[in-house]
């Protein structure tokens, strides 16, 4: 088994370059199978979710070839299957994007119900209602969703809440629906815009991505095309918070600072000194961190995927802070692990309350999910002594060269293998 070992209390200093966004990359890979030719997708992060997506695409007969570590050439024109490999879908949420992409382009799909981080109930009813509104038949049996349509027809689709996955999935299917589709109460996350930009580059006609109403005019086919995945705001936020917790001095580079506004605002409120330029943010930690309130929300609100990392930082702040989780039912599973490192944190329903001024002390903990793993590493970075983090497969799904990037900032962090 592999573990990450962190010897804490090293102040992070230097520059870190952010990789392509995981949540964009996985959706763009799925969308690429709807293209009518070769796509060259650049700035793909080298993470397990991307590896699994590519393996699943290859199993469907899609030609995939890495031209370098972060660039993939995809050609789906000789696809042989419209079924996503069940074993590869187990740990991953993004397999659901093949529903929209396959249904749109090939009018049929068989996709296992998605896996991914356990954050409470994660239904896909909005996705299926959207596909049904476009004219598809959706059947759930034997752990698979089977989709089929003779043709798709544009429709007005209202989402009960602005789900990222449903917005992207319905958008992908609607690209090939006859006439106009409107998605109302759509998610506005940067990766929704990224996927729309990619599809538009291939000839789709999508307008309004990034607003609450997305308008899609159906087209009969797409071409190939080249595209660069946008930088990962969650990875960037993770390093910003790590800089703050160690009282460090870190420039987070190759990002879109606008995407970080909610994080920047909260770190400033806590007392960090933050400056930004065209594609970077500089975070200078403060000796005294002030308490604050965090409420997760859909974009441009504070991202739920940075909630565990931010709650960890708030444990160090002076006084009581609160963290309210508004997106997922059950995103505080990491709290019991954080307590093993000394956090004084109490969960009451959707809210976690931190007592503050915590001195973390190293212990052995398990990453209960992807962002929980990042939070535990952040705690380890400022903890006294050695923190050992297990269950790394969660982390490897979403962070590229995590230890290497932290080491380049001066952290004492390494990966070890241990016989159990």
Q: Is 328 in the site for ligand UD1 (CB under 6 A)?
A: yes
Show the tokens assigned to 32: 């690429």
Q: Report if residue 372 touches ligand UD1, rule: CB under 6 A.
A: no
Q: Residue 94 interacts with ligand UD1 (CB under 6 A)?
A: yes
Which one among 84, 98, 126, 280 touches ligand UD1, defined by CB under 6 A? Answer: 126
The stretch near ligand UD1 (CB under 6 A) out of 58-66, 116-124, 173-181, 224-232 is: 116-124
Pick one of 327, 335, 363, 392: the residue that binds ligand UD1 (CB under 6 A). 327
Contacting residues for 362 by C-beta, under 8 A, at least 6 apart: 6, 7, 8, 341, 380, 383, 384, 385, 386, 387, 388
284 is catalytic: no
User: How far apart (Å, rounded) are the C-alpha atoms in residues 175 and 107?
Assistant: 12
Per annotation, catalytic residue among 117, 292, 358, 382: 117
In eight-state DSSP terms, residue 97 is H
Number of residues near ligand UD1 (by CB under 6 A): 20
**Cα 189 vs. chain centroid, distance in angstroms?**
11
Residues in the chain: 420
307-311 long-range CB contacts below 8 Å, 24 or more apart? 307/331, 307/371, 308/334, 308/371, 308/372, 308/374, 308/375, 309/237, 309/238, 309/241, 309/242, 309/371, 309/374, 309/375, 309/378, 310/241, 310/263, 310/266, 311/335, 311/338, 311/345, 311/352, 311/354, 311/375
Q: In whole angstroms, what is the distance from residue 103 CA to residue 146 CA?
A: 10
Residue 121 vs 419, nearer CB to ligand UD1: 121
Least distance to ligand UD1, CB of residue 20, Å: 13
Q: Are 152 and 103 in contact (CB under 8 A)?
A: yes
Least distance CB 131 / ligand UD1 (angstroms): 11
CA 58 from chain centre, in angstroms, equals 23
Cβ closest to ligand UD1, residue 22 vs residue 316? 22
Question: With binding defined as CB under 6 A, does residue 334 bind ligand UD1?
Answer: no
* Residue of this chain nearest to ligand UD1 (CB atom): 165
Does residue 69 belong to the site contacting ligand UD1 (CB under 6 A)? no
What's the min distance (Å) between Cβ of 218 and ligand UD1? 22
* 394 is an interface residue for ligand UD1 by CB under 6 A: no
Q: Give the residue, chosen from 125, 226, 279, 404, that forms a contact with ligand UD1 under the rule CB under 6 A.
A: 125
Q: Which is nearer to ligand UD1, 194 or 337 (CB)?
A: 194
Residue from 304, 309, 312, 368 touching ligand UD1 (CB under 6 A): that is 304
| Range in contact with ligand UD1 (rule: CB under 6 A) among 6-14, 80-88, 122-130, 235-243 | 122-130
Q: How far is the CB of 138 from ligand UD1 (least distance, A)?
A: 12
Dihedral, CA of residue 331, residue 233, residue 67 and residue 86, to nearest 10: 20
CB of 291 to ligand UD1, least distance (A): 25
Residue 262 contacts ligand UD1 per CB under 6 A: no
11 to 40: interface string for ligand UD1, x by CB under 6 A = ------------x--x--------------
* Long-range pairs for 269-273: beta carbons < 8 A, 24 or more residues apart: 270/244, 270/313, 270/317, 272/244
Q: In a 10 Å sphere around its CB, with 0-12 CB exposed, 13-18 middle and 19+ buried, how is residue 297 labelled?
A: middle
The residues annotated as belonging to the active site are: 117
Contact footprint for ligand UD1 (CB under 6 A) = 23, 26, 93-94, 121-127, 161, 163-166, 304-305, 327-328
């Amino acid at each position: 088994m592999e573990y990450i070992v962190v010897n804490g209390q090293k102040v992070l200093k230097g520059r870190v370059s952010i990789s392509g966004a995981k949540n964009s990359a996985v959706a763009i890979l799925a969308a690429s199978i709807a293209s009518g030719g070769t796509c060259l997708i650049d700035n793909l992060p080298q993470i397990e979710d991307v590896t699994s997506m590519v393996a699943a695409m290859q199993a469907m007969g899609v030609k995939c070839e890495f031209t370098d570590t972060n660039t993939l050439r995809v050609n789906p024109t000789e696809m042989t299957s419209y079924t996503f490999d069940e074993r590869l879908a187990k740990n991953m949420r993004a397999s659901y994007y093949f529903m929209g992409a396959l249904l749109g382009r090939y009018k049929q799909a068989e996709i296992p119900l998605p896996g991914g981080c356990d954050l409470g109930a994660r239904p896909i009813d909005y996705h299926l209602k959207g596909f049904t509104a476009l004219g598809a038949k959706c059947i759930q049996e034997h752990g698979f969703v089977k989709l089929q349509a003779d043709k798709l027809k544009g429709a007005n689709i209202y989402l009960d809440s602005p789900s990222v996955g449903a917005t992207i999935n319905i958008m992908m299917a609607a690209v090939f629906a006859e006439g106009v589709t409107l998605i109302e109460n759509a998610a506005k996350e940067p990766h929704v815009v990224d996927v729309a930009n990619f599809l538009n580059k291939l000839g789709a006609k999508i307008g309004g991505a990034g607003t609450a109403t997305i308008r899609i005019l159906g087209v009969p086919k797409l071409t190939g095309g080249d595209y660069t995945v946008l930088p990962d705001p969650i990875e960037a936020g993770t390093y910003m918070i790590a800089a703050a917790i160690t009282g460090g001095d870190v420039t987070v580079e190759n990002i879109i600072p606008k995407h970080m506004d909610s994080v920047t605002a909260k770190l400033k409120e806590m007392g960090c000194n933050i400056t930004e330029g065209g594609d970077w943010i500089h975070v200078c930690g403060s000796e005294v961190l002030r308490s604050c309130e965090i409420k997760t929300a859909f974009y441009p609100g504070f991202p739920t995927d940075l909630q565990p990392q931010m709650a960890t930082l708030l444990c160090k702040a002076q006084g009581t802070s609160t963290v309210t989780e508004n997106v997922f039912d059950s995103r505080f599973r990491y709290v019991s692990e954080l307590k093993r490192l000394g956090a004084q944190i109490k969960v009451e329903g959707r809210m976690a309350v931190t007592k503050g001024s915590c001195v973390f002390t190293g212990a052995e903990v398990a990453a209960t999910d992807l962002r929980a793993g990042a939070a535990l590493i952040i705690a380890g970075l400022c903890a006294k002594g050695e923190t050992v983090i297990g269950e790394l497969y969660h982390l490897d799904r979403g962070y590229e060269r995590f230890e290497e990037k932290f080491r380049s900032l001066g952290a004492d962090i390494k990966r070890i293998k241990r016989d159990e």
